[in-house]
Amino acid sequence: MSSENAVETLQRSLRDLMRQNNRAGRVVVAVDALDLGAAMDFAGDFEKAIAEEGTAVFHVSVADGAPQVREWLIGPFRAGDSFGPDYVAPADAVLVVSGRFLHDAAVRGLWNFSIWLESNPPIGAPRPELPDAEKHYLATARPKAAASVIVENSDPAHPVQVFGDFC
Percent of the chain predicted with pLDDT > 70: 94
The residues with which 94 forms a beta bridge, in sequence order, are 27, 57
Average pLDDT for 57-81 = 90
User: Does the predicted TM-score (pTM) go above 0.95?
Assistant: no
Predicted confidence at residue 1, as pLDDT, reads 42
Q: Where are the beta strands (DSSP E) in 10-111?
A: 26-33, 56-61, 82-83, 87-88, 93-99
Predicted confidence at residue 96, as pLDDT, reads 98
Average pLDDT for 85-91 = 91
Distance CA 89, CA 93 (A): 6
Could you report the per-residue pLDDT of 91-139, keeping only the tens digit for each? 999 999 999 999 999 999 999 999 999 987 777 777 788 999 999 999 9
Give the helix, strand, coil percentages of the chain, each rounded to 5: 35, 25, 40
- 9 in helix, strand or coil? helix
Please name the residues in contact with 112: beta carbons below 8 A apart, sequence gap of 6 or more: 18, 21, 22, 27, 28, 29
More confident residue, 2 or 143: 143
Q: Phi and psi (nearest 5°) for 96?
A: -100, 120
Predicted confidence at residue 85, as pLDDT, reads 78
